[in-house]
Structure 1
């Protein structure tokens, strides 16, 4: 079935179609174009998408949205970025899907993936979700534009690094359920009022709620009441999740296993015992948020619990790899996609529970502003508490942590991921547990790729 026809695209964007065509997908990166896709020629700071129109059609594009005529089937518009927004809005307007929006300083991508899997576990249910971390001013409209008209549920991730960004995104998504996973000092350099400012920016997600909408809020967060105040004018219902007494969705009992947790949770009107197929207390929290959203959407809680046990490992976000080392293997925990103080502490806690010698390869955390030195140094206690035997610190910004660990742990500070790769290759031994975590810009994913080349 076609996702968009030329006529529908022209109607949504106010553009003019050069010919009839039907598209089965949408992309603005010509490298992602497949047969039958619609290519949106977006403007850019370094390149203009119109430079890649011929290449997109060479890969099988059915049509394009352009702001200048091309010798291929297209819809001509004044502004292709505005046209993508309009296409996303039109997709949402025609959809009968129950929609969830997810944001938070930590865990939003994992929670989005887990929620989509939980909803899709019910047979014959069609679930659409945003892919990768398409959560910004271009990723969200693209994800909306890709939503099939017959979807039963849709899950969209929304991110930000400045106030006002989520407000615009949530009014496009118009969620029936809006989830905030947690509040932490990610991007704090852009928020003079600190965590309260971040909470206010995340709380913008509630502004787009549909009239019968539900706000899902972390009960244990120090910013809980601030989030509740943000949700109150927009939400018909507010549901809290967490470990503390008084949470609407609460983990009454948690048993940590190797690579997973067994949880007994109470929800309004029901109690569930289930397994979370990811390690760490932060994943227990994510799972509670998922169950709160599933119940609010009116979906099957039993099927959702089964899906939580079978969650796929996410590259860069907790994937666990057994890699060949000499005559044995070592465990690698891949957290290379991103980092802030809260997620660092959560994953160090996971490392603490692993047997064997513990190696922490930690990359610098970005966008922490004036608090960067203190926040990096503040991780020293967590490194020591996790029983880390060797800390390999990577990148400028890690100097304060290296100094704070002096005399407390064996530590080496290196300039970049390539140097860290060479250092780790000579250090790792059979039976080791290795955590690799840092901001994406540090490039620790290359180190993970090097290790994966010898996956057992």
Structure 2
């Protein structure tokens, strides 16, 4: 029989809550032994047997959805003492004492801490301005071949996503991989202390969320907070090619890290790319992993992905796991949704290729996506088309950073650019007339122009910040010219 994730009595012990059950069983006589199948904060994705945490979101209070959660089959709901009376009789409630701004979120953090305390898993944490989700997914993929691996879902990397992910970690996990993000200084440190990684990775430092910082050095300092949570003797893995390497190293050396392992193409990198061969649908990497020569194929194209794979190999080596098996696993790695997924579009007179990079954008990731688009083989009269939406949270530097993308468009031979949003219009106006497709204030207003432009042989890449909703263009292209069945894994048919 499979062990439950938690029992209610373990939840009560961790959170300091008390059980109030429905009906006459007010004391929950047998309820405390009830198994908890999972944890949820969203009734839309809740599964039967889940423990529902009524946390407060930016616009809604989870307590308003407790009755619905219990009606949908939640095993119990965690609620604050202040709201418990109004929810009496709706079903089993774990009532937690008032604490801070959100006592239910505090209870979820307490359960997460209990999950970490009971676990013997080898725990890794990943942050960085760009590439943290892809690196986390690569680690999940590689380590899953070597032991039971638990990792963050999607980009659950904030003040509620990290404790939710940690609380969901089964006690028997061999590996735990956690993504930690931030918008402001001071946000990573408490999450890193909660996760307590033995290996902490910083992929890179770039001008992302720059509107909340005075300089890139401030972003580097914020990323360096991840080392606050390192277990004694833990390992810091840093990008040797990044200009903030020394600054991040200082943060690591000030922590409980036992050593620093660097990766990149720099001649002094501990895990060094000797050669990267870029192909339209994959990459081949010849690397030296702390003196051990390793050659592997990477199932996702893109130079940035190849470089981040070095961090993965550094982590595998640090864990003492099987490098050869990890190298084999990387060949089967496919892009996460919205981060490079490729789909054939079936037009009346031929095919075009859709590259979905629609999950968020910043200057570094847009340049990387343009470079990947440049590497795609074009057939016949096909063109390389970039459909770009605004990059957000760049502050007063936003117009300049958008305009500067023109150099990358030219460098990579992009034939046509479509632009959504007032900031991406800055790029559009900086392009030669022959490279301009259509510019529009929103992705919705750009949709028809993109749909009508695609012709056989084209490669179309879509990218923009989440709130610009470039994903709607991806879905419209798929709906008109080809659905999920036509999806490609890194450019090769399934």
Instruction: Give TM class, smaller chain.
Output: over 0.9
Q: Distance in 2 between matches of 1:387 and 1:176?
A: 43
1:95-244 alignment runs, 5 A limit: 95-122=119-146, 125-192=147-214, 194-234=215-255, 235-244=257-266
Asked if 1:43 corresponds to 2:56, the answer is yes
Aligned length: 453
> How far 1:54 moved relative to its partner?
2.0
- The answer on whether the counterparts of 1:22 and 1:63 sit within 8 Å (CA) in structure 2 is no
How well do the aligned residues superpose, as a CA RMSD in angstroms?
A: 1.2
Superimposed CA distance per residue, residues 116-150 of structure 1 (whole angstroms, 9 cap, x where no aligned partner): 1110112xx11000101100000000000000011
Q: Distance in 2 between the 1:441 and 1:50 partners?
A: 26
Supply the distance in 1 between the matched residues of 2:446 and 2:342 (Cα, whole angstroms): 19
Question: Is the CA contact 1:330–1:433 (under 8 Å) kept in the aligned structure 2?
Answer: yes
The equivalent position to 1:13 in structure 2, one of 3, 12, 15, is 15
Q: TM-score, normalised by structure 2?
A: 0.90
- Deviating beyond 3 angstroms after TM superposition, the runs of 4 or more aligned structure 1 residues are none
Q: 1:395: which partner in 2?
A: 421
Partner of 2:492: none
Partner of 1:307, secondary structure, is: helix
Find the aligned partners of 2:264 and 2:361 in 1 and give their Cα distance. Answer: 22
Deviation at 1:269, TM superposition (A): 4.1
From 39, 43, 50, the equivalent of 1:30 is 43
- Report the Cα distance in structure 2 between the residues aligned to 1:6 and 1:354, rounded to whole angstroms: 53
Separation (CA, whole Å) in 2 of partners of 1:204 and 1:398: 32
Report the secondary structure of 1:387's partner residue: coil
Partner Cα distance (1:250, 1:44) in 2: 43
CA-CA distance at 1:409 after TM superposition: 2.2
Equivalent residues in 2 for 1:320-331, closer than 5 Å: 320-331=342-353
Shift in alpha-carbon separation, 1:45–1:120, aligned structure 2, 3 A: closer
Q: CA deviation at 1:301?
A: 1.3
1:424 alignment counterpart = 450
Per the alignment, residue 489 of structure 2 pairs with none
Structure having the higher Rg: 2
Cα deviation for residue 257 of structure 1 reads: 1.3
Contact 2:438 2:446 in 1 (8 A): no
Equivalent pair of 1:384/1:409 in contact (CA under 8 Å): no
Provide the secondary structure at the position in 2 that maps to 1:322. Answer: strand
Unaligned runs of at least 5 residues, structure 2 = 21-27, 98-102, 487-494
Which residue of 2 is the match for residue 52 of structure 1? 65
CA shift for structure 1 position 195: 1.1
Contact kept? 2:198, 2:231, Cα under 8 Å? yes
Q: Is the alpha carbon distance of 1:45 and 1:265 closer, same or farther for their aligned partners in structure 2, counting shifts above 3 Å?
A: closer
Q: Give me the TM-score of the superposition, normalised by structure 1.
A: 0.97
1:408 deviates by 6.2
**Cα deviation code 1:241-260 (max 9, x no counterpart):** 00121100011111111221
Are 2:417 and 2:438, in contact at CA under 8 Å, matched by a contact in 1?
yes
Q: 1:74-106 CA deviation, whole Å, 9 max, x = no partner?
A: 211021111011111111111110100000000
Of 350, 355, 375, the residue aligned with 1:333 is 355
Deviations 1:236-286 (A, max 9, x none): 010000012110001111111122111111011411110111111100111
- CA distance in 1 between partners of 2:353 and 2:66 (Å): 44
Q: C-alpha deviations, 1:300-337, integer Å up to 9, x for none?
A: 21221122111122111111111112232111111101
Tell me the residue number matched to 2:111: 87
Offset of residue 47 of structure 1: 2.0
SS of the equivalent of 2:399 reads: helix
1:438 match:
464
8 A contact 1:119–1:300 mirrored in 2: no
CA contact under 8 A between 1:384 and 1:408: conserved in structure 2? no
